[in-house]
Structure 1
Amino acid sequence: MARYTGASCKLCRREGQKLFLKGERCYGNKCAISRRAYAPGQHGAQRKKLSEYGLQLREKQKAKRFYGLLESQFRKYFEMASRKKGITGELLLQILETRLDNVVYRMGFATTRAEARQLVTHGHFEVNGKRVNIPSYLVKVNDAISVSEKSRKSVRFKEILDVTGSKVVPKWLEVDQENLTGKVVALPTREDIDLQVQEHLIVELYSK
């Protein structure tokens, strides 16, 4: 599948906020936003007034890049959310949060969503005791996520926990770091999602 392969820090600078795409680097003084808090490119430092469409587009791009998705994937999730009862924007974020790669990242079993996606693809995780290698797999309440028995011996997971050990786990998840297991105890609410995005603008953009 196609995937963005450019500089991750440029995406954060373009959106004007940290999207936490580089793991530990995002928390240090090497973070691109801390050093150059303006959009990349020759005219990036110039302030431009965005149109209504421009504002809606930026919010959509921000959410899409936060979760590391392409346009076709993101649109699919929007259509899925629009068919459900409730507030479409919040349902969209809820669906994105329950992707397996995001859940692995939220549990602290990967330093970035990109790494989580790679680890899932390589078969390092199980859901309810069965290996799942599809990053877009949507978890449900009471699903148990664990690092496979063979992978628990990997030095990489020890290195990951050294970085993410103090990370706050969202209240809709339970994690046992010692046994490299976790559980989905509830679906995330809007208050549980730390993405600074105005999701209603995304709904307006796709509803045109």
Structure 2
Amino acid sequence: MARYTGPRAKLSRRFGVALFGSTAKTLERRPFPPGQHGLRAGRKKKSDYSIALGEKQKLRFMYGVLEKQFRSYYEEAASRRGVTGEILLQLLETRLDNVCFRLGFGNSRAAARQIVNHGHVLVNGQRVDIPSYQVKPGDKIKIGGKASSQQLALRMMDLTQSVPLVDWLTVDRESMEGTVERVPERSDIDPIVNEQLIVELYSR
């Protein structure tokens, strides 16, 4: 499946937000858009459409989702009862690759996606290699018993041991197993976007 493989630091600088954890220091050093006109680019007044589109793109790149897939998430969120924007964020947060990232099984969403793709992750005892798999409260996510899986996860957990765990997940680092305790609320999710603008963009 196609995915974005371009420069991450430039994307973070374009949107003014550290979309990928590894780009935070770059954004601190150069907090302006890339390119020769980067310092002056922020002075231009953006249209409402441009702002809403930027919010959607930030969320898309952050979770590593393509446009067609992102629209499917929006349509699913819009069909459910509740606040569409919040449901959209919940659908993205409960992707298996993102949950593995939150549990510390990957030091980035891309790394967590690769771990899932390569079959290193079990959900309720069954091997799942689909990064977009939707987890539910009560699901148990565990690293497989193969030596290669254990070694890879151990390296990743060493890199992420200082990263705080979100409240809606619990993890046993010894057994490399995590549990989804509940559906994340809006306050549990990184507030880097205004999801209401995304809903309005798709509602036009």
* TM-score exceeds 0.5: yes
**Distance apart, 1:20 and its partner CA:** 2.3
Q: Which residue of 2 aligns with 1:10?
A: 10
Q: Which amino acid aligns with 1:67?
A: Y
Unaligned runs of 5+ in 2: none
Q: Which residue of 1 aligns with 2:53?
A: 57
* 2:143–2:150 Cα contact (<8 Å) kept: no
Q: Which residue of 2 aligns with 1:44?
A: 38
SS of 1:155 mapped into structure 2:
helix
SS of 1:202 mapped into structure 2:
helix
Match of 2:89 among 93, 108, 128: 93
SS of 1:166 mapped into structure 2:
coil
**Distance apart, 1:141 and its partner CA:** 0.7
Match of 1:32 among 14, 26, 42: 26
TM-score, normalised to structure 1, is 0.93
User: Deviations for 1:132-153, whole angstroms, at most 9, x for unmatched residues?
Assistant: 0000000011000000011576
Separation of aligned partners in 1, 2:196 and 2:128 = 33
SS of 2:18 mapped into structure 1:
coil
Q: Which residue of 2 aligns with 1:75?
A: 71
User: Deviations for 1:121-173, whole angstroms, at most 9, x for unmatched residues?
Assistant: 00000000000000000001100000001157643322211211121111110
Unaligned runs of 5+ in 1: none
* 1:12–1:19 Cα contact (<8 Å) kept: yes
Tell me the C-alpha RMSD between the 2 structures.
1.3
Is 1:183 matched with 2:198?
no
TM-score, normalised to structure 2, is 0.95
SS of 1:45 mapped into structure 2:
helix
Q: Which amino acid aligns with 1:206?
A: Y
* 1:119–1:125 Cα contact (<8 Å) kept: yes
Match of 1:126 among 111, 117, 122: 122
SS of 1:136 mapped into structure 2:
coil
Identity, % of aligned pairs? 51
Q: Which amino acid aligns with 1:118?
A: Q
Aligned pair count reads 202
Separation of aligned partners in 1, 2:110 and 2:137 = 24
Q: Which residue of 1 aligns with 2:203?
A: 207
* 1:8–1:21 Cα contact (<8 Å) kept: no
Separation of aligned partners in 2, 1:115 and 1:136 = 14
Change (3 A) 1:45 1:65: same
